[in-house]
């Protein structure tokens, strides 16, 4: 019956409607829809095209997407709606208004979980880990993570592992490079450093990325591949990647294989640690997160411990969270210093005056904070609404829509940071005595580490790590950014990598100092 009706309709179209009529009707429909979208979006917001939504604007700006989004938010007063073309919840609003961000991340936290959209795309790699979890599953991990990471024992252990890695691996590597006059991709070196560092902190294992010759490490490669393939699901129509997943082909098959390699490594590490605990009766000599949690009772059931699956997912999430963020932050920082010699001199003076005590390097702390304002390692993030809501600036959000908060644009907003908002000026974070005063800044205006109940658990760890690396490298080496390399710009990703890396040469300071 239905097929007969379709056939009749097609015959009617064929007999009575000319192609030119169809073209005029489509153009009229297109124009009406465009006008309606124009009227319902704020002035200055990107055009939402019929059928294609925001995609034409996005594709036109793939090469400068962060700058384009920043300008569009400034033009539209800080919030505008967006729509993709393939359903599955690909619509919502984009905002850079601190009051909206506070609403999402704190005031109405319960209405804005990470949500099923995020979870579905990361489940193969992350399982139920903290980064992928909501509700009780998230709360349990959050409690465990906060208790362990803020314990004096972990803080001492982690600054020890950071120091060992800096002096034992990173500095010797840069020394040998500088002796040979060799150039290297600074971003690659820093990514290797933070991968080894987070594996040591989370699992108590040496991943070996910084070993001699900078080898290819299968676990690190599988992790990177699994992350990239999970992220590709965000820009692929769901019917495409879900069909590939059902058939087990192409990128979906590669994702399953890469995620299996990562989870296999984590499972083996957990099993070996469990065996060690059974054999020796204690893990008291180990301070990494896995060993500490394995030795701890569940907060609500003191006679039970964490399951091996919990420990596996917890550690994988930690590696994802802590692996690339601080390395990209440092890469942008070193690049900014290379073009701001005045700031570099003040950092050097601060490092020298601190005599190795990173906690008293206040100018360095301010310079890193300022660098992340301009180049936030997580440039955009999003939450998914459970129920209809209205944001503080009056924007309506419907259930299942996403609210994307644009940290990159917030850091470059004149109304938040003043007319010199595009300048790299660490002094804006210092009080009159030169002490770091950023603690008083609203985390909803500077949302680089997220804010509210899901504030980054590794913030303190990240600063310790970044300060240790920056102080050790800058005190020993002058960094020369190689001229003539591909333009320095961000890569389109959820982490703000430099698109082509950062080719540099290191020269020992005492050899080159005048």
The nearer residue to ligand HEM, 395 or 407, going by C-beta atoms, is 407
Query: What residues form DSSP beta bridges with 396?
Result: 390
Q: Which is nearer to ligand HEM, 98 or 322 (CB)?
A: 322
Interactions with ligand HEM, residue window 452-511 (CB under 6 A) = 454, 456-458, 461-462
315 marked among binding-site residues: no
Shortest distance, position 141 Cβ to ligand HEM, whole Å: 8
Where does this chain touch ligand HEM (CB under 6 A) — which range of 36-44, 324-332, 396-404, 481-489? 324-332
Helix (H, G, I), strand (E, B) or coil at 505: strand
For ligand HEM, the closer of residues 321 and 358 by Cβ is 321
Exposed e or buried b per residue across 408-436, where buried means at least 16 C-beta atoms within 10 angstroms of its C-beta: bbbbbbeebbeeebeebbbebbbeeeeeb
Cβ neighbors of 405 (< 8 A, separation 6 or more) are 94, 95, 96, 100, 101, 104, 380, 381, 382, 383, 447
Using CB under 6 A, which of 131, 203, 265, 408 touches ligand HEM? 131
The nearest distance, CB 220 to ligand HEM, in angstroms, is: 16
- Does 377 participate in binding ligand HEM (rule CB under 6 A)? yes
By C-beta, is 48 or 191 nearer to ligand HEM? 191
User: How near is the Cβ of 103 to ligand HEM at its closest, in Å?
Assistant: 16
Q: Which of residues 193-222 bind ligand HEM (CB under 6 A)?
A: 198, 201
Residues pairing with 403 in the sheet: 93, 383
245 or 402: whose CB is closer to ligand HEM?
Answer: 402
For helices 308-323 and 218-232, angle between their N-to-C axes, nearest 10 degrees: 80
Under a CB-based contact definition with an 8 Å cutoff, are residues 333 and 347 in contact?
no
d(CA 425, CA 32): 48
Distance in angstroms (rounded) separating the CA atoms of residues 148 and 157: 11
What are the structure tokens assigned to 166, written together?
């800096």
- Residue among 72 and 201 whose Cβ is closer to ligand HEM: 201
Cβ–Cβ under 8 Å, residues 509 and 478? yes
Choose the binding region for ligand HEM from 28-36, 165-173, 317-325, 345-353 (rule: CB under 6 A): 317-325
Total residues binding ligand HEM (CB under 6 A): 24
- Nearest Cα to 123, choosing from 132, 115, 114? 132
Per-residue binder mask for ligand HEM (CB under 6 A), 434-463, x = binder: --------------xxx---x-xxx--xx-
Q: Which two three-digit tokens encode residue 104? A: 């999402």
Interaction site with ligand HEM (CB under 6 A): 130-131, 142, 145, 198, 201, 318, 321-322, 325-326, 329, 377-378, 381, 448-450, 454, 456-458, 461-462
| Binding site as annotated, residues | 456
């Amino acid at each position: 019956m239905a097929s007969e009706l379709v056939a009749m309709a097609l015959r009617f179209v064929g007999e009575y409607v000319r192609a030119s009529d169809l073209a005029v009707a489509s153009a009229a429909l297109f124009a009406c829809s465009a006008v309606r979208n124009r009227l319902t979006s704020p002035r200055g917001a990107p055009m939402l095209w019929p059928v294609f939504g925001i995609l034409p604007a996005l594709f036109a700006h793939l090469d400068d997407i962060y700058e384009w989004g920043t300008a569009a938010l400034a033009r539209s007063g800080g919030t505008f709606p967006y729509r993709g073309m393939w359903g599955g919840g690909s619509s919502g609003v984009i905002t850079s208004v601190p009051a909206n961000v506070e609403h999402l991340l704190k005031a109405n936290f319960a209405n804005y979980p990470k949500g099923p959209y995020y979870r579905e795309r990361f489940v193969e790699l992350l399982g139920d880990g903290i980064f992928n979890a909501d509700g009780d599953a998230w709360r349990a991990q959050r409690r465990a993570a906060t208790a362990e990471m803020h314990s004096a024992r972990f803080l001492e252990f982690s600054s020890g592992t950071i120091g060992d890695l800096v002096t034992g691996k990173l500095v010797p590597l840069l020394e040998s490079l500088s002796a040979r006059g060799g150039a290297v991709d600074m971003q690659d070196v820093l990514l290797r450093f933070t991968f080894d560092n987070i594996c040591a902190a989370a699992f108590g294992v040496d991943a070996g990325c910084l070993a001699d010759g900078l080898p290819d490490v299968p676990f690190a490669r599988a992790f990177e591949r699994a992350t990239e393939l999970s992220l590709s699901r965000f820009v692929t129509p769901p019917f495409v990647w879900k069909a590939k997943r059902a058939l087990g082909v192409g990128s979906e098959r590669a994702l399953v294989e890469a995620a299996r390699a990562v989870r296999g490594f984590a499972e083996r590490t957990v099993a070996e640690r469990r065996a060690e605990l059974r054999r020796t009766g204690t893990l008291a000599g180990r301070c990494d997160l896995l060993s500490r949690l394995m030795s701890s009772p569940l907060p609500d059931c003191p006679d039970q411990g964490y399951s091996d699956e919990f420990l596996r997912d917890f550690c994988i999430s930690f590696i994802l969270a802590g692996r690339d963020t601080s390395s990209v932050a440092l890469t942008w920082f070193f690049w900014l210093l290379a073009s701001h010699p005045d700031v570099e001199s003040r950092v050097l003076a601060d490092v020298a005056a601190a005599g190795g005590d990173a906690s008293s390097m206040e100018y360095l702390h301010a310079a890193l904070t300022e660098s992340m304002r301009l180049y936030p390692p997580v440039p955009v993030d999003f939450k998914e609404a459970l129920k209809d809501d209205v944001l503080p600036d009056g924007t309506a959000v419907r259930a299942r829509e996403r609210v994307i908060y644009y940290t990159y644009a917030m850091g470059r907003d004149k109304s938040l940071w003043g007319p010199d908002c595009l300048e790299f000026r660490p002094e804006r974070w210092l009080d009159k005595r030169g002490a770091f005063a950023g603690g008083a800044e609203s985390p909803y205006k500077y949302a680089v580490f997220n804010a509210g109940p899901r504030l980054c658990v590794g913030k303190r760890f990240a600063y310790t790590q970044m300060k240790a690396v920056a102080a050790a490298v800058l005190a020993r080496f002058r960094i020369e950014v190689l001229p003539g390399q591909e333009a320095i710009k961000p890569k389109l990703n959820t982490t703000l990598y430099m698109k082509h890396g950062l080719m540099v040469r290191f020269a020992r300071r005492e050899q080159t100092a005048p």
